[in-house]
Each structure stands twice: as C-alpha cells, then as structure tokens.
Amino acid sequence: MNPEEAAAKPNPIEQFELHRLWPFEINGVETSFTNASLFMLLAALGVVALMVLATSRKAIVPGRVQAMAEMLYEFVAGMVRQTAGTEGMKFFPFVFTLFSFILIANLIGLVPYTYSVTSQIVVTFAFAVVVISLVVLYGLYRHGFGFLNLFVPHGVPLPVLVVLVPIEIISFLSRPVSLSVRLFANILAGHITLAVFGGFVVMLLGAGVWAALAPIPLLAIVALYALELLVACLQAFVFSVLTCVYLNDAIHPGH
C-alpha cells in the first residue's frame, strides 16, 4: 500500500508500540527507558502523590485527597482482612501497592495519548509470577510440606482424590496464567475497541455522505469509555482480590 493511504487508515495496535526514549543496555540486556517505563513511573508517582504527599499534614479532619487516600487504604485493608484473614494483613503493603499501582496505571492509560502499562502481557505476567512465588514461598516457609495439603481437599474419599489432586495441581499451575491474561486481555481488548471505534469515526468522516453516520461510533466510544473506566477499576480489584485469595491458600492450606 502507498504511504498516503496507509497514513489515513487508523491503526488500533499502534498504541501498544514500545518507543525507546532512552536506549541503553546493561550486560547485553536491553534496559531502555521506554514510553511504557515512563507511564509506569507516572503511575507510581500518582500513587505516591496520593498516598504520601496528600497525607503529609496528617489531619484529623481530612481534606479531599487525604480522604481519598484513607478510603483506598481502608478499602484494601478490608479486602485483605476479609479474604486472607487478620494473618493476611502482613501482606497488606504488597497487596496495596499492587492494587494502587494497577488501578492508577489503568486509569492513566485511559487518558488519550497515554500508554497502558497493563496492556503488556509481560508486565501482568511479572505481577502474577511475583504473587504466585510469594504464595509458594510463604506457604512452604509457614507450613513446610503441609503446604501441599492445598492440593488435597479435606473429607474427600480416596478414589475421588486420585482424580481431584491432579485437577487441583493443574488449577494451581494455571493461576499465574489466568491471573495475568485476565488483566492483560481486558485492558488490551478495551483499548483496541476504543481505537477501532475511533477509526470508524475517522473513516466515516472521510467517506463523503456517510460522514452523517460518524456520530454513531462516536457515541459508542462514549459508552465504551464508561465501560472501560469500570473495567480499569474492576480488573485492578479482581487482580488484588485473587492475590488475597491465593495468599489465603498459603496461610491456610487446608481447605
């Protein structure tokens, strides 16, 4: 295709391209600072601004942002306490960092011309690997081989166990995959959908009489955007709730 025609055609994948803003490598491993890194940094700074700067006054009667920080704190604390018990509260800082980072990254990614950090499978998979490693290591540290009881449900007759244990093992092994793919695919699909509908608007506008139909996909974008806001929050929540559930398995391996 010729360049002009190509330039006119919207590309929903382009938004996921990585651009090396500061290319360099360490020991032959590429560690360039990319646009993804930039938005990771922005998400982290957003969390810091909310949790550190806004709470610096330590006001008894909180301002708006401090109230938000407290709400987030209590929300995550409640979630960890409910799903992983009071013992799970030792993982509260980790779950909180995970939740707030994913949430802010997802929300920042919804601003046009930004980059969605969580739309990269490598990022979500890295999170999932950290979570599962934490579960396995803490479970072994805490219960030794008793942790393997996780795969042996209580009060199930032996013949059923023969079938059930492999299923439990497979389900455990598939956790990092499902955990990472769920977040990645939701964010990726949402952003592609938004870009595709945006492309429809552009194409319709460039198609003579059909330009009259252009507002339809535009309205669809508005609706989809609302849905994506929900998805951004919901997926951050789902990721952290599942993290808590898995950590609960490590704390109390017997079902």
Partner 1 sequence: MAIISSAFAAEGEQTTHESVGAGEAHHEGAFPPFQTENFAPQIFWLVIIFGLLYVLMSRIALPRVGGIIENRGAKIAADLGAARDMQSKAQAAAAANDENLRRRRDEAQAIGRDAQHRIAAETARQRALAESQAGEKIRAADERIASAKTTALGNVEQIAVDAAAAIVEKLTGAKIDQSALAKDGATSSH
Q: Kindly state the smallest distance separating residue 146's Cβ from partner 1, in Å.
A: 28
DSSP 8-state assignment for residue 21: E
Hey, CA dihedral for 154, 237, 99, 96, is it positive or negative?
A: negative
Considering only 10-18, 203-211, 232-240, 244-252, which stretch makes contact with partner 1 by CB under 8 A? 10-18
How many helices (H) and strands (E) the chain has is answered by: 7, 4
CA 104 to chain centre: 10
Considering only 45-53, 164-172, 175-183, 209-217, which stretch makes contact with partner 1 by CB under 8 A? 45-53
- Residue 10 token pair: 């919207």
**Stretch (H or E) spanning 121:** helix 121-143
Check binding of 36 to partner 1 (CB under 8 A). yes
Q: Kindly state the smallest distance separating residue 82's Cβ from partner 1, in Å.
A: 17
Indicate the residue among 40 and 108 with the shorter CB distance to partner 1. 40
Check binding of 84 to partner 1 (CB under 8 A). no
Q: Kindly state the smallest distance separating residue 224's Cβ from partner 1, in Å.
A: 19
- Find the binder of partner 1 among 79, 84, 88, 96 (CB under 8 A): 96
Residue 20 phi/psi, 5° resolution?
Answer: -75, 110
- Find the binder of partner 1 among 63, 87, 122, 189 (CB under 8 A): 122
Hey, CA dihedral for 60, 64, 65, 68, is it positive or negative?
A: positive
Check binding of 70 to partner 1 (CB under 8 A). yes
CA 9 to each of CA 21, 210, 213: distance values in angstroms, whole numbers, following the listed order: 26, 16, 18
Check binding of 74 to partner 1 (CB under 8 A). yes
Check binding of 158 to partner 1 (CB under 8 A). no
Check binding of 184 to partner 1 (CB under 8 A). yes
